[in-house]
Amino acid sequence: MASSFTVCRLHTIGRGSLVKCLQKAIHFFTGILEQTLLLCKKKRMDSNLCMLSRQRDKNRQRDLNTFFYESYGMYAVVEFANQESVASLLEGTAIPSISHESLVPFKSRLLSMRNLASVDLPNQPSGKKRQAQTSIPINELIQRLSKEESIDQQITSLTEAYQLTEENYRLRYLVCSLLKDIAAGFFPECTIMPFGSSVNGFGKLGCDLDMFLDLDGISGKNATMPKSGLFLEYQMKRANLERIVTQNILSVIGECVDQFGPGCVGVQKILNARCPLVRFAHQPSGFQCDLTANNRVAMKSTELLYLYGELDPRVRHLVFTVRCWARAHSITSSIPGAWISNFSLTVMVLFFLQRRSPPIIPTLNHLRDLAVTFFPLFKIKSRGQESVIEDNDCTFVSDFSKIRLESNTETLEQLLCEFFEFYASFCFRTLSINIRKGKEQNKPEVAPLHIQNPFETTLNVSKNVNASQVDRFVALCQESSWLIQQNITAPSEVVLKERLPSHLGSIYLLLPSQVAAIKSPQRRKFEPASERIKSLLESLKNTNKQQKSKLNSL
């Protein structure tokens, strides 16, 4: 089978049988199924990014042709082995009859299942569970982590709890494919691909869905013009700038999404941004979506992040932990503003890992050199893998086997502690973070936080961040570094009256901090931390008591 999405083993069968299959699947579930999403087999998976979704846990690809989840209502994703099966099902699907409203007659693969009371949906216990599509609340996470025996295990467990599931990947690709159906009205040859944390390996359940409308693949682009004689070319509308074309296309597609897209609400066209986009909520999946076009460099940085995450498992674990820590302390936010973004944080973790001794991951320049073979005899470079996008050098090796890693054996616990230490004393005032060189550089421009964009090297990834957010970040790094060190090294009676048992390790880093009140890093206060730890211990004790008494009462 060509794709990981086609694990379903429903074969081409008649419409009647399909409906039966569907009903059978639904009968697995206790409750009322309001909506059904259908995903037909994708014809081909034509980009590296598609491979990303197949990444880890290949062995998890069992017979997962249907799964259920809750968004605004109960949904089922049903995958079919081929498009004919879907076409056959759609053929017999009715247009809703409504009396007080009018319908936009746009047919999508998002269907509702109505029970007209003549069919009994038995309330039998389900063999199939609802798949959660959002991450567990922080309190639940803390409870879960408290059961682990070491900080390293907690960090691994945190990643497992937060990372995207196989089903969530499918849902993300499905939404892209539903969006493509809308865009295909104008551009039948377009593709819509996910990028960013949906596919770079660092996505947390509930993260937004960044999509890229790709029109570069349309046929005729590479058709060679004859040197003489007659030939035909398409008449096409022109504009002065590529940016204007992108804005116009997104404006029209955004309008269609708004007017025709079932379940697409809150559509905002943000066309004057550096990277124009259409933002909307896709209610059937529960995803907040950002649709961009002509954004190839971001696709490259997605691939780069994916590569770094795959080089060493500690990379993903550390990124997940730092992102979770940052969210718990409101360093990051889901609302756009002067905060540090998850992307910036990820680049900061990568930079830190490049600065270890020996480094855990190589610099981007090294990955670039590996992609370009040098023939000393002829003093030339082979440029086979070179990738230049809008004058930006986006070349880096894609063959993992060419990358030799140094043998760094630091544990996750050490790395987490060192991460906080590193940024607690980093000179943000004068230095810029640069993963291309793997070395801090003098800031090329005034900005509270300067992180060089790996490919568009004149840009600062964290341009939006203000000085007080950087101060908060530094203060929290100082506090967290201090807290984690007390737990690792100091005798209990010296530092905290109520010392946290060592197996609770990193949990207290996720508790709300008093650092918000700290204006400058010098005015550090550590007392509140011990208070927090006290209340954590109390709450864990209480939960354990409750669980015990529940068990006793059974």
Tell me which residues touch ligand CTP (CB under 6 A). 195-197, 200, 203, 207-208, 210, 298, 301-302, 341-343, 453, 461
Q: Does 197 help bind Mg ion (rule: CB under 5 A)?
A: yes
User: Which C-beta is closer to ligand CTP: that of 291 or that of 416?
Assistant: 291
Query: How is residue 407 written in tokens?
Result: 């043998």
User: Which C-beta is closer to ligand CTP: that of 29 or that of 195?
Assistant: 195
Instruction: Put residue 438 in one of left, alpha, beta given phi > 0 → left and psi -120 to 50 → alpha.
Output: left
User: Which C-beta is closer to Mg ion: that of 208 or that of 410?
Assistant: 208
* Max CA pair span of the chain: 91
Sheet holding 73-79, edge to edge: 66-71, 73-79, 35-39, 110-112
- Cβ 325 to Mg ion, closest distance in Å? 19
Binding segment toward Mg ion, per CB under 5 A, in 126-134, 191-199, 245-253, 469-477 = 191-199
User: Which C-beta is closer to Mg ion: that of 168 or that of 197?
Assistant: 197
Query: How is residue 299 written in tokens?
Result: 């696709």
Omega within 30 of 0 (cis) for the link into 276: no
User: Which C-beta is closer to Mg ion: that of 29 or that of 343?
Assistant: 343
H/E segment holding residue 37:
strand 35-39
User: Which C-beta is closer to ligand CTP: that of 210 or that of 421?
Assistant: 210
User: Residue written as tokens 């502690």?
Assistant: 417
Q: Does 346 help bind Mg ion (rule: CB under 5 A)?
A: no
H/E segment holding residue 126:
none
User: Which C-beta is closer to ligand CTP: that of 34 or that of 208?
Assistant: 208
Partner from ligand CTP, Mg ion, none binding residue 341, C-beta < 5-8 Å depending on class: ligand CTP
| DSSP characters over 267-297 | EEEETTSSS-EEEEEETTTTEEEEEEES-HH
| DSSP characters over 311-340 | H-HHHHHHHHHHHHHHHHTTSS-SS-SSSP
Instruction: Tell me if 510 sits within 8 A of 141, measured CB to CB.
Output: yes
Q: Does 201 help bind Mg ion (rule: CB under 5 A)?
A: no
Binding segment toward Mg ion, per CB under 5 A, in 197-205, 350-358, 404-412, 444-452 = 197-205
Give the bridge partners for 289, in sequence order: 209, 280
Number of residues that bind Mg ion (CB under 5 A): 4
Partner from ligand CTP, Mg ion, none binding residue 298, C-beta < 5-8 Å depending on class: ligand CTP
- Cβ 261 to ligand CTP, closest distance in Å? 20
Radius of gyration of the chain (CA): 26
Q: Is the dihedral of CA 434, 437, 438, 443 positive or negative?
A: negative
Binding segment toward Mg ion, per CB under 5 A, in 95-103, 162-170, 194-202, 450-458 = 194-202
Q: Does 362 help bind Mg ion (rule: CB under 5 A)?
A: no
Which member of 210, 214, 421, 479 binds Mg ion (CB under 5 A)? 210
- Cβ 194 to Mg ion, closest distance in Å? 9
User: Which C-beta is closer to ligand CTP: that of 465 or that of 536?
Assistant: 465
Which member of 34, 84, 208, 312 binds Mg ion (CB under 5 A)? 208
- Cβ 288 to ligand CTP, closest distance in Å? 9
- Cβ 379 to ligand CTP, closest distance in Å? 34
- Cβ 367 to ligand CTP, closest distance in Å? 16
- Cβ 31 to ligand CTP, closest distance in Å? 31
Partner from ligand CTP, Mg ion, none binding residue 71, C-beta < 5-8 Å depending on class: none
| Per-residue burial over 209-230, b = 16 or more CB atoms within 10 Å of its CB, e = otherwise | bbbbbbbeeeeeeeeeeeeeee
- Cβ 191 to ligand CTP, closest distance in Å? 18
Beta strands per DSSP E along 156-218: 191-195, 209-214
- Cβ 437 to ligand CTP, closest distance in Å? 18
Q: How many Å apart are CA 323 and CA 161, to the nearest integer?
A: 13
Residue with the shortest CB distance to Mg ion: 196
- Cβ 344 to ligand CTP, closest distance in Å? 7
Which amino acid makes up residue 343?
A: F
- Cβ 340 to ligand CTP, closest distance in Å? 11
User: Which C-beta is closer to ligand CTP: that of 16 or that of 336?
Assistant: 336
Residue with the shortest CB distance to ligand CTP: 196
H/E segment holding residue 419:
helix 412-424
Q: Does 196 help bind Mg ion (rule: CB under 5 A)?
A: yes
First to last CA, the chain: 48
User: Residue written as tokens 């025709």?
Assistant: 260
Q: How many Å apart are CA 121 and CA 31, to the nearest integer?
A: 8
Burial class from Cβ neighbours inside 10 Å (0-12, 13-18, 19+) for residue 414 reads middle
User: Which C-beta is closer to ligand CTP: that of 36 or that of 341?
Assistant: 341
Interacting residue ranges for Mg ion, rule: CB under 5 A: 196-197, 208, 210
